Amino acid sequence: MRPIDWIVFAAFLAYVVWDGVRRRGSAKDLEGYFAGSRRIPWWAAGLSIMATQASAITILGTTGQGHEHGMDFVQTYFGLPFAMVLLCIFLVPLYRSRAILTPYEYLEERFGPVTRTLASVIFLASRCLALGVVIYAPAVALSAMIGLETWQSVVVIGALATLYTVVGGVAAVIWTDVKQMTVILLGLGLILFVLLRDLLPTFAGGRLLELAGAAGKLNALEVEPEHAALWPRTWTEAAAGRGTPSFWEEKYNLWSGLFGGLFLHLSYFGCDHSQAQRLLTGKDARQSRLSLLMSAVAKVPMQVLVLLIGVLMWLFYAVHGQPMLYKTAHVERAASAALAPQVAELERRFAAAVDERRTQMQRLAAVPGRPAADPAALRDYQASVRAVAALRREARTLVGGAVDANGRPKDDPDTNDIFCRFILDRMPPVVLGLIVAAIFAAAMSSIDSVLNALSSATVIDVYRRWLRPRCSEAHALRVGRLLTLAWGALATLMATLFAGGGSVVEQINEFGSYFYGSLLGIFALALLVPRAGGRAGTIGLLCGMVAVLVVRCTWKVEFLWFNVIGCLAVLASGWLVSRWAPRRG
Amino acid sequence: MPTPAPTEPTEPPPLGSWPRVYVLVGALAAAVMAALWWFTERFHVPLGPP
């Protein structure tokens, strides 16, 4: 980064911290600290909802997904608008008719204190671990850009977000999120502009999309499942290559996005306190509904934009030549004496493959009409695309150092490093600083929300409920601040444990899916089965998590379906228990 | 045990009623998906077998 980039970057960070800290005046009691004194306007809460979800992962992981796998990931969000509408109808009135500070307080009213505490603890455990990943992702970017160790970057990001959240509470979280979301959108807009300015003189807009589409990158909506078999394979069968791949193994298609995504987002926005907290900060149910509907309208188009940026980055590299390795650790290992001869040979083959792909791209671009009009040119182009991808995979396997269960070298994906490499190499001064600031903004906007929510759930559902029920407001507020600090420190520590490969965005969604279905199921049980009481709630919640665990360990099923399985298992087991142990009174 | 929140007069929903707003949001989501379906049909060519 150049000095001017550093100035832009540092100025933005300083502004965010100052803006968060100056909100301390509104955090004088528990309702101020954890619910913004219920005076947050809907548009600010709506932007905060989007900023919390659009973490650094959205920028790093999703653009990387677009570059590597095309646009199919957007289908995960197809259930989101419908989830938001259902939440507006069922959960918002439930929350806003009570003076609650966490959604789990409602569960006590309905099922008793054990179910409430269990749900809250599930939230605390799952979010703390996921928060580690949220801090880790931008730390990788920072490390690659300014030469810090990953753990040092983790500490910087974790410490800054913790600082203003401890002081300013949820008001600081929401108002800094507003600024952070603005910078994120500005950063994405600038990257799109730079990419289009470079690519459009080479190929017209339609031809550009046809070239990306012919490389299999514009798979935004897949109605026909690739596999028709409905019975899932076991892991043993899959590992041995036996049995037919099933519908449930497909990661992204219209159906997993609509149904799995619907359950995931119902749970994330309605039952995960880090998001549901926003519904408690407006002055009434109208404000809460509008903040949810803002996301319902904007989220899918925003994801399309981010994935499209990833696809355009792929086109950019296809036109201008691309590095074989994106990850800094890979590049460093490739330079070692032991690997140098093999890497040099791979580099030579890779350069030839990239040249061939460019030649085939130009040949296909010259075909009149659509690419399919010349099947031979299309076939050769696709073969060249596959060849480059295969060589990159071979190189990552060689230098990545990752091994499978049998001790054989395996691919060490660099999905999250592609974006960093691109902006470092290609962005002009000032813009680079702004985009690095946007990555940080995205990271902090997710971390701050979760920290405040973790602290809130610990104080309200555990400390004040079980340990010190008669403590004063001032005492509970002090404990809340201390717990924000403690959760910040713990999450920062967790982040250092996630320094693995893979796509971070998938890790987060997958991890959440182990718990989210059950969390949603317990709220659904409360609403749909009036007979269900405390026993039904507690047993149902446990059965939901066990069901997901059993399915996860036995069958090859993609993570989005865990949300459906967990929810239905809670409902079914809760309903059964309610038959012999109905709710009293 | 949570206490009921104090009731306050609220502004009317946009478009006059919430069901209308929900229908509009659902229609917008369906329109975006339809646009993406067209986009995929128009531009996407799956990578064939090697």
pLDDT above 50: residue A62: yes
- The tens digit of pLDDT for each residue in A167-196 reads 999 999 999 989 888 888 888 899 999 999
CB contact under 8 A, A220 and B39: yes
CB contact under 8 A, B10 and A301: no
- The tens digit of pLDDT for each residue in B6-31 reads 555 568 889 899 999 999 999 999 99
- Give B18→chain A minimum CA distance, Å: 9
Q: Which residues of B touch A (CB under 8 A)?
A: 1-6, 8, 10-11, 13-14, 18, 21-22, 25-26, 28-29, 32-33, 36-37, 39-40, 42-48, 50
Cα gap B22→A60, rounded to integer Å: 32
- One DSSP character per residue, A142-166 reads HHHHH---HHHHHHHHHHHHHHHHH
- Is the Cα dihedral A320, A322, A327, A332 positive or negative? negative
pLDDT above 80: residue B2: no
Residue A360: its chain B contacts at CB < 8 A? none
Per-residue confidence at A509, pLDDT binned at 50, 70, 90? low
Identity of the residue in B1, B6, B26 whose CB atom sits nearest the CB atom of A85: B26
Sequence-ordered list of residues with C-beta below 8 angstroms from that of A439, at least 6 positions apart, any chain = A56, A59, A60, A138, A141, A142, A187
**Token pair 């990545």 in the structure block, residue:** A400
**Token pair 């002081």 in the structure block, residue:** A167
Left, alpha or beta for B23 (phi > 0: left; psi -120 to 50: alpha)? alpha
What mean pLDDT comes out for the span A553-582? 93
Please state the ipTM of this predicted complex.
0.87
User: B13: nearest CA in chain A?
Assistant: A286
User: B47: nearest CA in chain A?
Assistant: A216
Assess contact for A398 and A339: CB atoms under 8 A. Answer: yes
User: A293: nearest CA in chain B?
Assistant: B25
Left, alpha or beta for B15 (phi > 0: left; psi -120 to 50: alpha)? left
Top pLDDT among A443 and A95 is at: A95
Q: What is the pTM of this model?
A: 0.89
- One DSSP character per residue, A166-230 reads HHHHHHHHHHHHHHHHHHHHHHHHHHHHHHHHHHTTTS-HHHHHHHHHHTT-------S-S--B-
Per-residue confidence at A33, pLDDT binned at 50, 70, 90? very high
| Residue A169, CA distances (Å) to A20, A162, A478, B25 in order | 8, 10, 12, 32
- Give A435→chain B minimum CA distance, Å: 28
CB contact under 8 A, B39 and A106: no
Per-residue confidence at A427, pLDDT binned at 50, 70, 90? confident
Identity of the residue in A82, A85, A221 whose CB atom sits nearest the CB atom of B36: A221
The pLDDT score that the predictor gives to residue B3 is 53
- The tens digit of pLDDT for each residue in A235-249 reads 988 888 888 899 898
Specify the range with the lowest mean pLDDT, choosing from A38-47, A48-57, A142-151: A142-151
Residue A293: HSE in the Cβ half-sphere, 13 Å Cα cutoff: 24
The pLDDT score that the predictor gives to residue B4 is 55
**Token pair 């514009």 in the structure block, residue:** A218
Looking at the DSSP bridge assignments, the partners of residue A234 are A555
Across all residues in chain A, what is the average pLDDT?
Answer: 89
- Is the Cα dihedral A238, A241, A244, A248 positive or negative? positive
Cα gap A442→A444, rounded to integer Å: 6
DSSP symbol at A403: B
What mean pLDDT comes out for the span A267-284? 92
- Structure-token pair, residue B33: 């998906």
Rg of the Cα atoms in chain A: 25
The pLDDT score that the predictor gives to residue A403 is 77
* High-pLDDT (> 90) share of chain A, %: 57
Per-residue confidence at A327, pLDDT binned at 50, 70, 90? confident
- The tens digit of pLDDT for each residue in A450-475 reads 999 999 999 999 999 999 999 999 99
Longest dimension (CA), chain A: 78
- Structure-token pair, residue A564: 């459906």
**Token pair 């041995």 in the structure block, residue:** A240
CB contact under 8 A, A106 and B2: yes
CB contact under 8 A, B4 and A99: yes
